[in-house]
Chain A
Amino acid sequence: GENVEQHPSTLSVQEGDSAVIKCTYSDSASNYFPWYKQELGKGPQLIIDIRSNVGEKKDQRIAVTLNKTAKHFSLHITETQPEDSAVYFCAASKGTYKYIFGTGTRLKVLA
């Protein structure tokens, strides 16, 4: 079945620096890749997503890139701020609602 690997599991960056989180998926039929941010004590919230017909998508300080050939996609956060500290999850789906989530990355932005 589909498997999604996410790295790193923890990431510490200085405020203002960039953060990159990478995910690899196994099923080449996957065509939708959302990223969720989960703050302590809260549910995951969608922050950005990308479809397989697009290579890159940006939303202010957040961007996601997709390499279908290599079957990996990445989340890029620029000019990090303390409020970016959270756990980030990637996911993959084949256009259905059965998301396969990565194991999460705990991002700490150091002031």
Chain B
Amino acid sequence: DAGVIQSPRHEVTEMGQEVTLRCKPISGHDYLFWYRQTMMRGLELLIYFNNNVPIDDSGMPEDRFSAKMPNASFSTLKIQPSEPRDSAVYFCASSLAGNSGNTIYFGEGSWLTVV
């Protein structure tokens, strides 16, 4: 089975530009998560969806960040405008309710550098 698929894998952009990160969860999974990983703050949950509905966005750092899930197989995380401090690895992950232990499966990540 294909895992969580993220694109782009690497992105370098200039400060002020819009960045869109994309995610395709594992087929059949009903939970989708966006995490950010940095050396300073480790793995942080930004937002998660259940059945395409945002459940908890308390981790979204500020209004420059937005996430959408228009259907069960696609989600985006958008940063507009981007800033150098947004440089991080952004992980999408998915899970299936009722599986043994709320196991979360991560994608390979999108490495974002804002210069």
Please list the residues of chain A having a beta carbon within 8 angstroms of any beta carbon in chain B: 32, 34, 36, 41-46, 49, 51, 89, 93, 95-99, 101-104
In addition to A42-B108, A44-B106, A95-B102, 9 A-B residue pairs with Cβ atoms within 8 Å of each other are: A36-B106, A43-B107, A93-B102, A97-B31, A97-B95, A97-B102, A97-B104, A101-B43, A103-B42
Taking the closest CB of chain B, its distance from the CB of A104, in whole angstroms, is 7
CB distance B102 to A96 under 8 Å? yes
B105 proximal to A (CB < 8 A): yes
28 CB < 8 A contacts A-B: A32-B101, A32-B102, A34-B101, A34-B103, A34-B104, A41-B108, A42-B109, A43-B91, A43-B93, A43-B107, A43-B108, A44-B43, A46-B105, A49-B101, A49-B103, A51-B101, A89-B42, A89-B43, A95-B102, A96-B102, A97-B31, A97-B102, A97-B104, A98-B48, A98-B56, A101-B43, A102-B42, A103-B42
* B interface residues, how many (CB within 8 angstroms): 20
CB distance A46 to B104 under 8 Å? yes
CB distance A99 to B104 under 8 Å? yes
Interface of A is mostly: loop
Please list the residues of chain B having a beta carbon within 8 angstroms of any beta carbon in chain A: 4, 31, 33, 42-43, 45, 48, 56, 91, 93, 95, 101-109
Query: How many angstroms between the C-alpha atoms of A99 and B93 in the bound complex?
Result: 12
Taking the closest CB of chain B, its distance from the CB of A46, in whole angstroms, is 6
Q: Which residue of A lies closest to B44 (CB)?
A: A101
